[in-house]
Amino acid sequence: MTARTDLETLMARLVLKDREAFRALFSATSAKLFGVCLRVLKDRGEAEDALQEVYVKIWNRADRYSSTGHSPMTWLITVARNHAIDRLRARRADSDIGDPDLVLSDPAPGPEARAIAAAEARRISECFGELEQARADAVRGAYFEGASYAALAERFDVPLNTMKTWLRRSLMTLKDCLSR
């Protein structure tokens, strides 16, 4: 994987509609993003379609990247995951969440955001390991499968409100661990 600074240079060039930079970004990042699409959609053909759409979005919306304060990989993964989830929910008529309501937020960047991001990235696996297996799986289910609270409650065979409490607690444990 290309070093982060290289990806940052490519992202900056992308905003200027530099096609060579786009090609370079594709070869450096497409395997990871294809992995994300596959993980969410679990269907090769659909993941290929999603990947195409993801890179069209990346090309068209590169100007939004810098305002998030994200690292390039964080932004790219977020675009890919959200798009794949959109597709998954469009496919799934039984969703009780209704229309996907996931758009990239583009607020002003926090100045210390990047430093924090780098520090947290190193710890995320460790902190995830601190959660009980089932609870970590519930968080994964929500992130990678777009599972609703109702779907998660059914899967883990707990009442809906218990599921909500569980997941919220797990998220707070994760956050606390990351900020230790």
Partner 1 sequence: MSDRPDIPPDDSARAAEYVLGLLPVQEAREMRAELGQNAALRAEVLAWERRFADIAENEVEPVTPPAGVEAQIMAHLFREERRPWWQRFGLGQVVGVAGLAAIVALGVLFYSNLTQPLLVPEYTAQIVGEGDSLILSAALDADTGELLITRDIGTVTTGRAQELWLIAGEAAPVSLGLLAEDTETVLNVPQDLAARFEGGVLAVSDEPPGGSPTGAPTGAVLAVGEVNTI
Distance CA 86, CA 92 (A): 10
Report the residue number, 9 or 64, with the smaller CB distance to partner 1: 64
**DSSP secondary structure of the chain:** ---HHHHHHHHHHHHTT-HHHHHHHHHHHHHHHHHHHHHHH--HHHHHHHHHHHHHHHHHHHHHHGGGT--HHHHHHHHHHHHHHHHHHHH-TT-SS-S--------PPPTTHHHHHHHHHHHHHHHHHHS-HHHHHHHHHHHHH---HHHHHHHTT--HHHHHHHHHHHHHHHHHHHT-
Residues 9-28 that bind partner 1 (CB under 8 A): 19, 22-23, 26-27
The single residue among 6, 12, 15, 34 that binds partner 1, judged by CB under 8 A, is 34
Tell me, by CB under 8 A, how many residues bind partner 1.
73
The reply on whether position 134 binds partner 1 by CB under 8 A is no
Residues 152-171 that bind partner 1 (CB under 8 A): 167-168, 171
The single residue among 13, 39, 64, 155 that binds partner 1, judged by CB under 8 A, is 39
Residues 84-113 that bind partner 1 (CB under 8 A): 85, 89-91, 97-103, 105, 107-108, 110, 112-113
> Minimum CB separation from partner 1 for residue 9, in Å?
19
The single residue among 62, 70, 131, 166 that binds partner 1, judged by CB under 8 A, is 70
Report the residue number, 51 or 157, with the smaller CB distance to partner 1: 51
> Minimum CB separation from partner 1 for residue 109, in Å?
8
